[in-house]
């Protein structure tokens, strides 16, 4: 019986590792006028007893999930592991996301400036209360026969 339990547990762990997990969004649901969102970024991760760095490409995706109203992206700032600003992506011209529109920013796999603990700070607002956008990062990388991909959702740090 114990052997069967270990087999089932091993299969479950393998499925999680291969296919990811279903998770509840750390962003709160409901409506808001403006927010500042912290989004974790992993432009690289350590592996093999922390001896090797696995480089990853990153896509930041901001989804306006409101079906009736636009949102305005006021700023998107990219910070490295030590909290140093690397790049600001939105200048004087604010980005308007129409209902159901998605805005993406990509970071190349070879760009190692962010490090293991990088992050985006995204500030958005709207003229009326809207459904909160989904703000997430998608990380993906390959090395030889090994492939790795996962996502990370943003967390509201200021309303």
CA distance linking residue 33 with residue 146, whole number of Å: 43
What is the tally of structural domains in the chain? 1
Q: What is the pLDDT of residue 44?
A: 87
pTM above 0.95, yes or no: no
Could you list the residue range(s) of the whole structural domain that residue 94 is in?
A: 24-158
CATH number for the domain harbouring residue 111: 2.60.290.11
Helices (H) and strands (E) in the chain, counts: 1, 12
Q: Is residue 48 over pLDDT 80?
A: no
Q: At which residue do the structure tokens 């909160």 appear?
A: 132
Beta bridge partners of 44: 55
Provide the 3-class DSSP secondary structure of residue 67: coil
Which of 48-57, 81-90, 142-151 has the highest average model confidence (pLDDT)? 81-90
Residue 47 lies in a domain: yes
């Amino acid at each position: 019986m114990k052997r069967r339990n270990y087999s089932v547990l091993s299969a479950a762990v393998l499925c999680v590792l291969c296919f990811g997990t279903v998770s509840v969004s750390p962003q709160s649901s409901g409506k808001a006028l403006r927010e500042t969102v912290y989004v974790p970024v992993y432009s690289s991760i350590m592996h093999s007893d922390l001896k090797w760095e696995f480089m990853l490409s990153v896509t930041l995706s901001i989804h306006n999930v409101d079906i009736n109203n636009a949102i305005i992206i006021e700023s998107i700032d990219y910070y490295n592991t030590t909290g140093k600003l690397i790049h600001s992506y939105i200048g004087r011209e604010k980005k308007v996301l129409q209902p159901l529109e998605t805005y993406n920013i990509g970071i190349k796999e070879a760009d190692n400036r962010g490090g293991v603990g990088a992050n985006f700070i995204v500030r958005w607002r709207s003229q009326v209360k809207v459904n909160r956008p989904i703000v997430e990062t998608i990380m993906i990388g390959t090395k030889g026969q090994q492939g790795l991909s996962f996502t990370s959702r943003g967390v509201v740090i200021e309303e």
